[in-house]
Amino acid sequence: MILADKTPNQTPHLPLGDQRTSPWYGKSIVSVKQFSRDDLTYIFEVAHEMREMVERIGTFDLLKGKILANLFYEPSTRTASSFTAAMERLGGSVIPINEVKYSSVAKGESLPDTVRSLECYSDVVVLRHPEIGASALAAKYARKPVINGGDGAGEHPTQALLDLFTIIEEHGQPDGLTITMLGDLKHGRTVHSLSRLLSLYDVRLNYVSPEILRMSSEIIKEIDEKGIPQSEYNELEEPLPETDVLYVTRVQKERFDDPEEYEKVKGAYVITPATLESAKEAMVLMHPLPRVGEISMELDDDPRAAYFRQMEYGMYVRMALLAMVLGKA
């Protein structure tokens, strides 16, 4: 009988803190407003180490014995699977609840009760929910960390972190860059979080959208108070030549009350090779995905197209966040 595991310890030399003094230990991540520039530097440092470890050994035991509950009330491909991959790469395991119709949610259970049940079996909960503020509510009731995987048209902090990590990997520090966000800026939670996060840097922000899909005045005011120049446009033509990062989003069909309004704006922008003729050679083209026609597949081989690299970076950032809230980084 094997009494002790004699395999050599594969735990990496990450900046491991004493978990009781680690500032993120046990904390929920519900909004990008929680992060300072120093926090971001730290998260990306850990994400880098995660990348190196994955490239070197694939999977290691930093979170061995820990369990993540992945609770998704809305569809997801990338967020759910990259959190699963992140947890498994760190040696932990996952309880996936993707189809809430098969769980007690379908019987009318409240979110606080579902989260308080799941945390009995797990160490951290990732929550995606259609209502703004759902993660904050869950975090209020939970004893274990809750990570916001998207709360309706509210925020998507882990996506914004991986978006910023992508910008830094592709361009270096964001200071001095012009970032143009295009598409559904009203309902798109990724741009709500990303614009707030970028306002910690010396950037210029352009917003391109149809009139009815403008960035909310509340967010514009918040960012304005940080002294960040912001401009709004209906068309991409004018801001494109000065753009360093073009961040494209899909029109969020599921958030429209009136399907006719969606029909009016659904094909508002399509980025093709011809569109990018006036763009900088070193511009980076990003998209949180899924795309539903906003970026032509003909651009996929253009070196400026970063959306698939962006997706891969997401796993490293999520590995860093899991290690942090579980006191291992």
Q: Which stretch binds ligand NCD (CB under 6 A): 94-102, 237-245, 249-257, 271-279?
A: 249-257
159 sits near ligand NCD (criterion: CB under 6 A): yes
Stretches 112-120, 206-214, 247-255, 321-329: which one binds ligand NCD (CB under 6 A)?
247-255
Binding mask 272-301 for ligand NCD (x = CB under 6 A): ----------------xx------------
User: Nearer Cβ to ligand NCD, position 185 or 240?
Assistant: 185
Nearest approach, Cβ of residue 249 and ligand NCD (Å): 6
- Residue placing its CB nearer to ligand NCD in the complex, 78 or 116: 78
Pairing relationship of beta strands 230-233 and 124-129 according to DSSP bridges? unpaired
CB of 243 to ligand NCD, least distance (A): 20
Q: Are 163 and 198 in contact (CB under 8 A)?
A: no
Query: Which runs of E-coded beta strand occur in 83-241?
Result: 93-97, 124-129, 146-151, 178-182, 204-208, 230-233
# residues near ligand NCD by CB under 6 A:
12
135 binds ligand NCD (CB under 6 A): no
Output 180 or 190, the one with its CB closest to ligand NCD.
190
Within 10 angstroms of residue 48's Cβ, the number of other Cβ atoms is 15
From 92, 145, 150, 157, residue interacting with ligand NCD (rule: CB under 6 A): 150
Give the pair of three-digit tokens for residue 214: 């403008």
* Closer residue to ligand NCD in complex, CB, 142/160: 160
Q: Does 186 bind ligand NCD (CB under 6 A)?
A: no
Tell me which residue has its CB nearest to ligand NCD. 288
Structure tokens at 143: 């004893």
Q: Applying CB under 6 A, does 189 fall inside the site for ligand NCD?
A: yes
- Report which secondary-structure segment, H or E, holds 70: strand 67-72
Nearer to ligand NCD, 22 or 193 (CB): 193
Q: 92 or 288, CB closer to ligand NCD?
A: 288
Q: Is residue 71 near ligand NCD by the rule CB under 6 A?
A: no
- Adjacent-strand bridge partners of 93: 67
Long-range Cβ pairs for the range 39-46 (8 Å, 24+)? 40/161, 40/164, 40/197, 40/200, 43/161, 43/317, 43/320, 43/321, 43/324, 44/164, 44/165, 44/168, 44/317, 44/320, 45/15, 46/14, 46/15, 46/320, 46/323, 46/324, 46/329
Positive/negative CA dihedral, 110, 120, 323, 39: positive
Residue corresponding to tokens 């990724």: 190
- Give residues in contact with ligand NCD (CB under 6 A): 78-79, 150, 156, 159, 189-190, 249-250, 252, 288-289
